[in-house]
């Protein structure tokens, strides 16, 4: 069965630190990849997505992610985090049926 | 902007009650989904629908049923609520194989 694994469950950073959240998936076919974010008290929203083309994709709020097909990975990065980035982050993979398979989520806490 | 709305933000029900959670989307999306979100488990798919009157089981359908009589509306039904169904329930909609848009969620507590 397809699965998505997020390496870090809880990350604590100080403002201005760099962020990298790991995401690996197990699915051999063509995939679409997503990162979603859920800010405290808000609904889940799309941060960025990869369908094809340039494996380095840029999203909202300065986030980017790199798709490495050989490693089945789609890691999320941000060079300098802000207190307002405190949220829960979910990696997801979309298979040929259209279903999304989510990772367990990573809670990011940014200290001011 | 895509809008997905859910009928309640918070709901408290008693064990054994029948519970209806409603979801409405305004973007004419073919696909609609129901998830539950639990700490440490991420989002797990309960049911989804590709079209009116069509439904498919997700990963955790036991204890739930769904109804899609109109394209914009997708209902989740708990036939007899149990305490282990206390959770956050999220509805989403999408076109095929593109990003899903989520509603605000319903936090259901079963006592």
Residue-level pLDDT, tens digit, chain A, 112 residues = 678 999 889 999 999 999 999 999 997 778 899 999 999 989 999 999 999 999 999 999 999 999 999 999 999 999 999 999 999 999 999 877 778 889 999 999 999 8
CA distance, residue B98 to nearest chain A CA (Å): 8
Q: Do B97 and A103 touch (CB under 8 A)?
A: no
* First and final C-alpha spacing in chain A: 41
Residue-level pLDDT, tens digit, chain B, 111 residues = 668 999 999 999 999 999 999 999 999 999 999 999 998 888 999 999 999 999 999 999 999 999 999 999 999 999 999 999 999 999 999 987 788 999 999 999 999
User: What distance in Å separates the CA atoms of residue B5 and residue A99, rounded to the nearest whole number?
Assistant: 20
Contact assessment for residue B14 and residue B109, using Cβ atoms and an 8 Å cutoff: no
- Position A29 scores a pLDDT of 77
CA distance, residue B32 to nearest chain A CA (Å): 10
User: What distance in Å separates the CA atoms of residue B22 and residue B75, rounded to the nearest whole number?
Assistant: 5
Q: Do A102 and B103 touch (CB under 8 A)?
A: no
């Amino acid at each position: 069965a397809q699965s998505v694994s997020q390496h870090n469950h809880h990350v604590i950073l100080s403002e201005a630190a760099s962020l990298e959240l790991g995401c690996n998936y197990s699915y051999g076919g063509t995939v679409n990849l997503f990162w979603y974010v859920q800010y405290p008290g808000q609904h889940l929203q799309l941060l960025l997505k990869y369908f094809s083309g340039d494996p380095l994709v840029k999203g909202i709020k300065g986030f980017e992610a790199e798709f490495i097909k050989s490693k089945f990975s789609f890691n999320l990065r941000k060079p300098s985090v802000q207190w307002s980035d405190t949220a829960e982050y979910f990696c997801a993979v979309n298979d040929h049926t259209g279903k999304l398979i989510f990772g367990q989520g990573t809670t990011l806490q940014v200290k001011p | 902007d895509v809008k997905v709305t859910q009928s309640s933000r918070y709901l408290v029900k008693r064990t054994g009650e029948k519970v209806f959670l409603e979801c409405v989307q305004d973007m004419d999306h073919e696909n609609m989904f129901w998830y539950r979100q639990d700490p440490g488990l991420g989002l797990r798919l309960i049911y989804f629908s590709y079209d009116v009157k069509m439904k498919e089981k997700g990963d955790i359908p036991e204890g739930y049923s769904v109804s899609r009589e109109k394209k914009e509306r997708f209902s989740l039904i708990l036939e007899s609520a149990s305490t282990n169904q206390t959770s956050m329930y999220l509805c989403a909609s999408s076109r095929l194989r593109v990003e899903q848009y989520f509603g605000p969620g319903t936090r259901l507590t079963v006592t």
